[in-house]
Amino acid sequence: MSADNRYRKIGYRRKLPVIIKYIILSIVLIIIMIPIVILIFGSVKTRGEFLTSPYTIPIPPRWENFIEVLKMNSFWRLLLNSFLVTIATTIGTVLICSLAAFAIARTKFRGKSFVFNFLTLGLMFPVTIAILPVYLAARKLALVDNLWGVILIHTAFQLSFGIVILNNYFKSIPSELQDASYIDGCSAFGFYWHILLRISRPALATVAAITAVFSWNDLMVPLVLLNSEDLWTLPLGTMQFQGQYGTDWAMVSAFVTLSAIPAVVLYLFIQRQLISGLTAGSIKG
């Protein structure tokens, strides 16, 4: 107790005054927010206002740009495609990773460490680096210009990460639980499906969160794989929109703002899972 007091006393005397901390953090906060705020300001201006005063506070706000973007069929199409890809990738990744991690963490077999090392190879090869080889393979498999191609590739490149996280989590589950369920007549798959998946929700949510953010934001795979406009995802469509309407900044701002909303909303919901996943591997030692 006395140690605690002493720590506190010395801590406060020698530390930067708290007020200075807040000032520095606030400056950083403003720097972080500037690009975002300017984008939003720009999106509620008319084209003329944008040209004359691009970064002032928009009074009154004009919602025409938003309305126009929301009226575009192509925008909804992009949104839908992105949702399809992200949801399918997330479900696929969680399922496949949990199956593999279950086998690795909870069963015995020969060559287990080899299999584990093999399945974690993906940590070293991000999809950006491997994109050409992957594209060539997808072309052979007729997965070009096909959302399944994007989904499968996204899934494949998230596997290693998911398996590592789930493997660690599954290992920490007491073996009595598994024994008991087998005694009660559960099969291995039964244990996995009815019990393991249920009690591992936090870890599964973490894997899902990281996968969803990756899949939602990725440009590279859709860019090389998808030719038809009907199949484009949001990042790809946003890039093309900017190229096409590059001079109409107000409109581009509105488009970009709208395309950012799902990610921001998702972030606010899954923040905890995301953070625990991103830091899980990195705080050891």
Q: Which of residues 218-247 bind other proteins (CB under 8 A)?
A: 218-220, 224, 234-236, 238-239, 242
Q: Alpha-carbon distance 268 to 264, whole Å?
A: 6
Q: Choose between 17 and 60: whose C-beta lies nearer to other proteins.
A: 17
Task: Label residues 43-52 b or e (16+ Cβ within 10 Å = b).
Answer: bbbeeebbee
Among residues 59, 73, 113, 228, which is the contact residue for other proteins, using CB under 8 A? 113
Q: Alpha-carbon distance 82 to 70, whole Å?
A: 16
Helix, coil or strand: residue 11? helix
Among residues 61, 70, 76, 125, which is the contact residue for other proteins, using CB under 8 A? 125
**Omega into 222 within 30° of 0, i.e. cis?**
no
Tokens of 8: 């506190």
Binding to other proteins by CB under 8 A, coded x per residue (else -) over 184-223, reads ---xxx--x--------------------x--xxxxx---
Among residues 19, 31, 57, 59, which is the contact residue for other proteins, using CB under 8 A? 31
The closest alpha carbon to 123, from 160, 164, 163, belongs to 160
Using the rule CB under 8 A, give the single segment among 57-65, 67-75, 199-207, 268-276 that binds other proteins. 268-276
Give whole-number Cα distances, 38 to 26, 27, 155, 190, 245, in Å: 18, 16, 35, 53, 18
Is residue 102 a contact residue for other proteins (CB under 8 A)?
yes
- Shortest approach of other proteins to residue 76 CB, angstroms? 18
Total site size for other proteins, rule CB under 8 A: 117
- Shortest approach of other proteins to residue 156 CB, angstroms? 4
Among residues 67, 70, 80, 123, which is the contact residue for other proteins, using CB under 8 A? 123
- Shortest approach of other proteins to residue 91 CB, angstroms? 12
Q: Alpha-carbon distance 129 to 22, whole Å?
A: 40
